[in-house]
Structure 1
Amino acid sequence: MKTLFVSDLDGTLLRSDETLSQFTIDTINELMKKGMLFSYATARSLVTTKKVTKGLNSHIPLIVYNGTFVMDNETEEILIANYFDDGIKDVIFDLIKENIYPIVYSFIDGVEKFSYIPEKCSEGMKAFLDTRKGDKRTNEVETVEDLTLGKCFYITCIDEPEKLKPLSEKYKDKYRVIYSKDVYSEYQWLEIMPKSASKANAILQLKEKLGCDRIVSFGDGANDIDMFKISDEAYAVGNAIDELKNIATGVIESNNDDGVAKWLNENIKGFIGIGE
């Protein structure tokens, strides 16, 4: 049987300092040489995914923006895409009315950008944007109308929980909503995506594209729950939230202890054609 292995990045494959250990890089590269089909499903963009996974040689498509896109890791072509309809403009204006100024991800004139109003940034947004200095997608704008330009596919709000929680409830039926704390900064995030976008949907599409029979996944957070539910086997790292551990096939070592790579190294021989 042909198995697709999929791992979350932040808090799962990546250590707490946003890096990969050499052991993880060497282990996964060696197993991929032997035929393992290994991909990532992450909230990150392809741009930042490539930065933090430097050294890994995955040649199959990657799932980014929490399943909004499936992209070719080599050509950077978008293979599967999910976009908002024009109704998302009303959501952006609604957020502003609540004094929440989002980061809006869009394709503007065919170029991927993330737009924001600098003087309206929350402390959490400033902290996040500091990690994206020099990013070619940066688009500082002056007005709310500017935030609505282009073909929108993702919205991020970083603010106080008491402001974000009611909005997560308001939009959860119409859109795909993830309400969680950032694994690195502990700031509260609200992420809004098209309803059709999810790690689960993207993985199932990738499974079909690659002709796989089974899915084995690894994760740590709330945005991995849907992925776990459609997996044949799903493993939570030791640092994962309890909600994910409760639905996992098993709990493995933490992200800082190379949990995913160790599990693969020890168990891959059970999958036909790999590690024999």
Structure 2
Amino acid sequence: MSTLILSDLDGTLLGPGATLSATTRNGINDLVADGLLFTYATARSYVSASRVTDGLDLRIPVTVSGGAFQLDPQTGAILNEERIADDDLDTVIRLCEKHRVPPVVYNGTPTAERATWVEGEESEGMRRFLADRVGDRRFQPVTDWARHPRDGIFYATIIGEAAAITALTADIAAATGGRLSLIAQIDTHHPQDTYLELSAARATKAHAVAWLRDYLDVDQVIAYGDNLNDLPMFGAADQAYAVANAASEVLAAATGVIGANTEDGVLRHVMRTWSARSTRDEAI
């Protein structure tokens, strides 16, 4: 039976400070060299994800921007994409203004993307978000939304207090009639902030599971995650494991609970799974 291992990054494969431990990097690389099908699905952009997974031997498509793109991990070439319609973006911007929770909107391509917001309208959470990305050339403010580029919108992140995000999410859902994927969750690195991740309806980790299953022609998908945007992936996978530090909803939805991201939990569980499979193959 062919098996795909699909892992989230932040809070799951990555340790504190969004770092990939040498133990996990070397261990995964050894398993990939032995034939393991391993990849990741993340809300991060391709540029950001490539930076934090530097040195990881990735040979099959990766999923970035919450599921908006499946890409060749070496070249960044787009293999599949899901984008947001201009009319829906206009609706989102109008409702963000109503609730006074501004968005950061992403457009372009994964290797040449631009992240835009209106300068001077930042929320406290957005300021923390931008402070973590000082010097990142993708982030370019505009003076108003009329100046925002419209070449291929694929993702938006909206950061604010939990109550404001909850109300905004409900309004956007009602106004867009299921055309958008809306996932609100507490930020892994700044738990005082709630993020609303917004993308096209099919730009989810669940659709990534289906697409990868077909593209790679695998029999089984095993997923690993920690946060609410991993729940669609859990529902689409054959087995789904939550790291010990996962959100309570993710723990409840999991096939099982493994070691925390501080303990190389994903690697250790994959190693046990791979070892058991190899033992069965030898017996056959």
SS for the counterpart of 2:253 is coil
With over 3 angstroms needed to count, the CA separation of the structure-2 counterparts of 1:204 and 1:273, relative to structure 1, is farther
1:209 aligned residue (190, 212, 215)? 215
Quote the residue 1:46 is aligned against: 46
Partner of 1:169: 170
Structure 1 residue 197 displacement after superposition: 1.1
Q: 1:265, CA displacement in angstroms?
A: 1.4
Deviation at 1:271, TM superposition (A): 3.0
Specify the alignment match of 1:138 in structure 2: 139
User: Which residue number corresponds to residue 157 of structure 2?
Assistant: 156
Look up the match of 1:116.
117
SS in 2 for 1:239: coil
Provide, for residues 106-126 of structure 1, a one-character-per-residue CA deviation record: whole Å limited to 9, x for no partner: 128x94110012211111111
Runs of 4+ in 1 over 2 A off after TM superposition: 146-150, 170-174, 269-276
Alpha-carbon RMSD across the aligned residues, in angstroms, is 1.9
Greater share of residues in helix: 2
Q: How far, CA to CA, are the matches of 2:12 and 2:86 in structure 1?
A: 35
* Matches for 1:83-122 after TM superposition, within 5 Å: 83-87=83-87, 88-107=89-108, 111-122=112-123
Letter in 1 for 2:29: N
Residue 253 of structure 2, aligned match among 226, 229, 247 = 247
Instruction: Provide the aligned length of Structure 1 versus Structure 2.
Output: 275
Q: 2:185 aligns with which of 166, 173, 180?
A: 180
Counterpart of 2:201, as a letter, is K
2:243 alignment partner in structure 1: 237
Letter of the aligned partner of 1:177 in structure 2? L
2:11 is matched with which residue? 11
Distance in 1 separating the partners of 2:250 and 2:56: 26
Identical-pair percentage: 37
Letter in 2 for 1:243: E
- Whole-Å separation in 2 of the counterparts to 1:86 and 1:122: 24
The Cα offsets for residues 3-23 of structure 1, whole Å up to 9 and x where unpaired, read as: 110000000000122111111
CA distance in 1, matches of 2:273, 2:112: 42
Helix, strand or coil at the partner of 1:185 = coil
Cα distance in structure 1, aligned partners of 2:53 and 2:27: 13
Letter in 2 for 1:136: R
Please give the alpha-carbon distance, in whole angstroms, between the structure 2 residues aligned to 1:66 and 1:272. Answer: 32
Give the C-alpha shift of residue 41 in structure 1: 0.5
- Conservation of the 8 A alpha-carbon contact between 1:158 and 1:190: yes
Contact 2:44 2:65 in 1 (8 A): yes
Larger RCO of the pair (alpha carbons < 8 Å, separation 6+): 1
Matched position secondary structure for 2:182: strand
Deviation at 1:248, TM superposition (A): 1.1
The verdict on how the C-alpha distance between 1:4 and 1:273 changes in structure 2, with shifts beyond 3 A counting, is farther
CA apart distance, 1:142 = 0.6
